[in-house]
Amino acid sequence: MNTRQALTIPERATALSANYNSDSSCFAVGLEDGFAVVNSDPCELRVHRRFNGGIGIASMLGRANFLALVGGGRTPKFPPNRVVIWDDARQRVVITLEFNSDVISVRLSRSKIIVVLRNHISIYTFSSPPERLQTFETVNNDFGLACLGSKHVASPGRTLGQVNLFDLQTSNNTIVPAHTSSIMALALSPNGELLATASENGTIIRIFSTASGATVTELRRGIDKARIYSMAFSPSSNRLAVTSDKGTLHIFDILPSSSSAADTPPRPSSGGSEAAATGSHTESNKRFSLLGKLPLLPKYFSSEWSFAQAKVEGTGRNSIGWTNEDTITVTSTEDCKWEKFVILNAPHTESGKACEREAWRNFVEGMDIPYSR
């Protein structure tokens, strides 16, 4: 007889948002009754703070005790046009920023607060009181796209398809003409050298050098139009993971830049050496479009293809986190699903690699939280 108690997921359990911290070691969840912090791998609840109101956005500062919170849900804890910095160690608000319109997303580092509105992005010092350093106008940015890296802030520009790349050290601003249609996803590499962009077409991902703004390479997700949900570089900056509304996770190899010229944009190599974990790659780990091998076709068709794919079962928009060079977690807020994928050696495949889903669970399981719909 099977006496093991079946796992049950409360029907009312749901999340308003889920955002990874800077190293993807955990993620913050906005809830109808407050917020929670969950470890990425294994997926385990660290803390659940209950308020008498909802948190629509919760964004962490690394693994520190500070979070940026914005009200949301049926009964918001804070107005949606206000960002509060919550000190969880002291259980109180320590910084408040208010705006004339709703806040769409927030990013934190130890020295900066990035606030994204529909048509503006503002950069503040992480201090009390905060000092506004820069404000940039953007095209309509309904998904709150913005990346805060170690060296740069990337956001949509004022013109469709352009990316605004702001250097935090020099205050120089570079306009990157990335696409001809709306930007749908952005990612900065952990080493600060690369910028990944995708447009509303979702077929091509472009990689740019943050030093020069030059194109490094193009990656092809597929031929059919798709909405890119999330992109993230691996810890070594040598791989890129991409999810879309096609329900797939694509993983690409990104060749590292030459060590002899740090300010020179990396270029795809015609040769190859070994394993991604050591920062080098084999040519077999790259699949090129067959169309690109035909004569007289544009360079567009010679983009590099992913070396591994997997099916994502979570529904709706999701976010990607790399917990190490061979492990990816994907969180989907619509059904609160956490999924863990691992990259494995697969000699029988063309690339020599495969991606398999190793674990999954509901990341709000066990939380007694109100239903939000």
pLDDT surpasses 80 at 358: yes
Average pLDDT, the chain: 86
Considering the domain boundaries, does residue 82 fall inside one? yes
Considering the domain boundaries, does residue 94 fall inside one? yes
pLDDT surpasses 60 at 149: yes
Considering the domain boundaries, does residue 57 fall inside one? yes
Considering the domain boundaries, does residue 66 fall inside one? yes
Q: What percent of the chain has pLDDT over 70?
A: 82
What domain count does the chain have?
1
pLDDT at position 368: 66
Q: Band the pLDDT of 74: cuts 50, 70, 90.
A: very high
Parallel/antiparallel/unpaired status of strands 17-20 and 26-31: antiparallel
Considering the domain boundaries, does residue 27 fall inside one? yes
Q: CA 265, CA 159: separation in Å to the nearest integer? A: 24
Considering the domain boundaries, does residue 35 fall inside one? yes
Q: Which domain holds residue 52?
A: 11-103
Considering the domain boundaries, does residue 50 fall inside one? yes
- CA 193-83-117 angle, to 5 degrees, is 60
pLDDT at position 314: 95
Considering the domain boundaries, does residue 51 fall inside one? yes
pLDDT surpasses 80 at 268: no
Single pTM value for the model: 0.85
Q: CA 225, CA 184: separation in Å to the nearest integer? A: 12
